[in-house]
Structure 1
């Protein structure tokens, strides 16, 4: 594929215009900014479907007036192994990948396994939840160290706050644990990353940005409204 050379200023202008006028999903996926961003992300581990769904969810959340920090999008692709970088933070305005990292899934999503297979929004399920989240303000230091609360916007993750689903660090999500064990340990449904990365990650995403968690889950993909409501 021919490399697209678009300056940051021009790219930001394309972003504003295409999101202002893209009223349907096909229009969104044909917009210049989406084509450029999907090209940039083709060099990552992310699956094309995860990228498409994340941008549909991002656009859906904007139309719902839920997004305060529009330049940042975080994509988590649970179709990938936890041994891989499967969390990506993207600057939507410039098309740059700001950081990537392995991230945990919930214990009952795939215990002692690199693969997440089960997903739930139910309290005490100890499973990861899929869909569109919005990050909150005011990071804090709590039981799991430096942390950030997130709110679920879909029926698939609406109990995130009640379940205390947060972004935090954990030793079982560290590079050293990964090297020793071959894949990450499990959270109780939270998005846990290497302690060495958590401050950088939270600094990028706090304050009302979209975080999207994807998996090739028939239950989620047939129930989400983000594909029909954009």
Structure 2
């Protein structure tokens, strides 16, 4: 499916007592998404909460709305953004509660070992590439695997990430994703392509987003924006 929704047509134009005061249904019919993003940014920067870069937010909200409109996810599902334009020494994963604009989770996340060292620079959909994939994913079921409690992901962009399940690209905890690994090596450790989280917070994240929420992975890849217009039906 092609994302035909106009950028900035997601969310809201009422604001009262520092909270968003319209329903999700009203937000989704609003044409003033830029106003919502301004509020989200101002609300969270006032709390000294770092945010993804604006282009990542814009693409994330565009795809999030398209997924709601296509009934891929529900209207109250959280939105997860991973911004791989940032180095692994920064917390570059966010979970946003869309109705309130609150950041409800912010954490470190690893990238694939063949995507780069400190920065993720190369991306792939190919099995055994050991690279991260970009784009929109739907969170799926949980399971107990070799990394403990884990979350399966289904990529919904043809040729970009639709082999995620075949590649066993999942969310899991890993000791190499902990902050002390940065202190020892100057970067996080790397996965075989999975977005790996610190061991002490991965369970919390998985329980927040499991079972049909949106996870968007962004990077400064000039080829991605055009490719991101295609969603798997």
TM-score range, shorter chain: 0.7 to 0.9
Are 1:6 and 2:25 counterparts? no
Matched, 1:62 2:72: no
Deviation at 1:60, TM superposition (A): 1.5
From 17, 25, 48, the counterpart of 2:26 = 17
Cα offset for 1:136?
Answer: 0.9
Q: If the length of structure 2 is used for normalisation, what is the TM-score?
A: 0.84
- Contact 2:24/2:76 (<8 A) preserved: no
Equivalent residues, number: 214
Structure 1 segments, 4+ long, off by >6 Å, are none
Which of 96, 101, 108 is 2:107 aligned to?
101
Q: Find the partner of 1:206 among 204, 210, 223.
A: 210
SS in 2 for 1:109: coil
* Structure number with higher helix proportion: 1
> Which structure 2 residues correspond to residues 9-48 of structure 1 after superposition, within 5 A?
11=20, 13-19=22-28, 21-22=29-30, 27=31, 29-30=33-34, 32-41=35-44, 43-48=49-54
User: What do the CA deviations read for 1:140-189 (whole angstroms, capped 9, x no partner)?
Assistant: 21111110001111121101011000000111001221222221011011
Task: Note if contact 2:149-2:203 (Cα within 8 Å) is conserved in structure 1.
Answer: yes
CA separation of 1:145 and 1:172: change in aligned 2, threshold 3 A: same
Aligned-partner Cα distance in 2 for 1:40–1:103: 24
Of residues 212, 217, 221, the one that matches 1:217 is: 221
Match of residue 138 from structure 2: 134
* Contact persistence 1:140–1:146 (CA under 8 A): yes
Per the normalisation by structure 1, the TM-score is: 0.85
Distance in 2 between the 1:154 and 1:205 partners? 19
CA contact (8 A) 2:77 2:214 kept: no
Residue in structure 2 matched with residue 171 of structure 1 by the alignment: 175
Residue number in structure 2 paired with 1:81: 87
Deviates further, 66-75 or 202-211:
66-75
SS at match of 2:22: helix
Which structure's relative contact order is higher, taking Cα pairs within 8 Å and 6+ residues apart? 1
* Residues 174 and 197, structure 2, Cα contact 8 Å, conserved in 1: yes
Q: Distance in 2 between matches of 1:40 and 1:211?
A: 22
Gaps of 5+ in 1: none
* Offset from partner CA, 1:106-160 (integer Å, 9 cap, x none): 11101xx1100001111111110000111013x2211111100011111211010
